[in-house]
């Protein structure tokens, strides 16, 4: 199961089981439940969800030098994977990250 699927599964579980009982979490095998600190597991789950949402934010392309047939020119690259971007492309063709041009 991917990290995204795992976070979705346990967010769904927490929403459905809002009675505040640690018993439900213990019986379900919640991977976020660590020791006796019941409230901390929810904070950890929310931090994982927030990290996944931030990872989907569009990135601004970076200008990079490219050498073609001995000539130096400029092109646009994805700041996450350094793949060359087609000008005004909505997404990086290598990593799939959304691109924000303006």
For residue range 2-60, what is the model confidence (pLDDT) as tens digits? 888 999 998 888 888 766 566 677 777 788 876 555 567 778 889 999 999 998 899 99
* Same domain (yes/no): 28, 62: no
* Same domain (yes/no): 29, 63: no
pTM of the model: 0.63
**pLDDT tens string 46-98:** 999 999 999 889 999 999 888 888 888 889 999 999 999 998 999 999 999 99
Range of the domain at 65: 58-102
* Same domain (yes/no): 7, 46: yes
* Same domain (yes/no): 65, 49: no
* Same domain (yes/no): 68, 50: no
Q: Which of 48, 56, 59, 38 is nearest to 5 (CA)?
A: 48
* Same domain (yes/no): 46, 63: no
For residue 35, the model assigns a pLDDT of: 58
* Same domain (yes/no): 22, 40: yes
């Amino acid at each position: 199961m991917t990290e995204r699927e795992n976070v979705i599964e346990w967010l769904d579980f927490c929403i459905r089981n809002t009675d505040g009982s640690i018993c439900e979490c213990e019986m379900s095998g919640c991977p976020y439940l660590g020791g006796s600190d019941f409230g901390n597991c929810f904070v950890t789950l929310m931090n994982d969800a927030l990290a996944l949402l931030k990872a989907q934010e569009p990135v601004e392309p970076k200008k990079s030098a490219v050498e073609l047939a001995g000539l130096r020119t400029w092109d646009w690259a994805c700041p996450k994977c350094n793949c060359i971007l087609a000008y005004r492309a909505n997404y990086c063709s290598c990593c799939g990250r959304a691109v924000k041009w303006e």
